[in-house]
């Protein structure tokens, strides 16, 4: 069975699930999902700049309302549970956890522990971080020792 570690920051949409579960054709895929709450991954200014660059001005204004720390944990756990259920409903094996600290260190440990074949980073565009190669995918490529695929998440 092919094993993918899937890093996400919001619940998977039905389009996301279809996309990641069909990437390898008919091969059975198991997923280890790492949910990093969006409020914890970058500072407020960078997130607002990303929103403006993406043309989502209303989202830029709301960035200060994004839960962080303990307040982000419960929504992240619900998002993870929903994403795992969607992957399982699509016929894949799926386990996961919310990442609270150092997502790239956790990613490396999970890749090693699971004997993962690849990492899929499925996030919204983060233009500032991507430009400076500080996004998860760019940084993970130098750390995990398996192929890293960067995909942009769909919105519902």
- For the stretch 130-154, pLDDT in tens is 555 556 667 788 788 898 888 777 6
Identify whether the C-beta of residue 116 lies closer than 8 Å to the C-beta of residue 91.
Answer: no
pTM for this model (two decimals): 0.78
On the question of pLDDT at 17 being above 90, the answer is: yes
List pLDDT tens digits, range 80-125: 999 999 999 999 999 999 997 778 888 999 999 999 999 998 887 6
Identify whether the C-beta of residue 16 lies closer than 8 Å to the C-beta of residue 153.
Answer: yes
Spatial distance between the Cα atoms of 10 and 38, rounded to a whole number of angstroms: 7
Spatial distance between the Cα atoms of 63 and 48, rounded to a whole number of angstroms: 6
Question: What are the distances in angstroms from CA 151 to CA 125, 129, 146?
Answer: 9, 15, 16
Quote the tokens at residue 72: 């982000």
């Amino acid at each position: 069975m092919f094993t993918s570690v899937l890093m996400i920051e919001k619940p998977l949409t039905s389009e996301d699930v279809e996309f990641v579960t069909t990437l390898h054709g008919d091969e059975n895929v198991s997923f280890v999902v790492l949910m990093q709450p969006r409020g914890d991954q970058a500072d407020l200014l960078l997130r607002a700049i990303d929103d403006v660059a993406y043309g989502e001005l209303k989202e830029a204004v709301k960035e200060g309302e994004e839960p962080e720390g303990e307040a982000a944990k419960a929504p992240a756990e619900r998002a993870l549970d929903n994403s795992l259920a969607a992957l399982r409903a699509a016929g894949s094996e799926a386990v996961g956890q919310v990442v609270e600290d150092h997502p790239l260190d956790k990613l490396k440990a999970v890749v090693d522990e699971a004997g993962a074949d690849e990492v899929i980073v499925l996030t919204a565009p983060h233009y500032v971080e991507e430009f400076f190669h500080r996004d998860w995918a760019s940084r993970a490529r130098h750390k995990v020792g398996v192929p890293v695929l960067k995909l942009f998440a769909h919105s519902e």
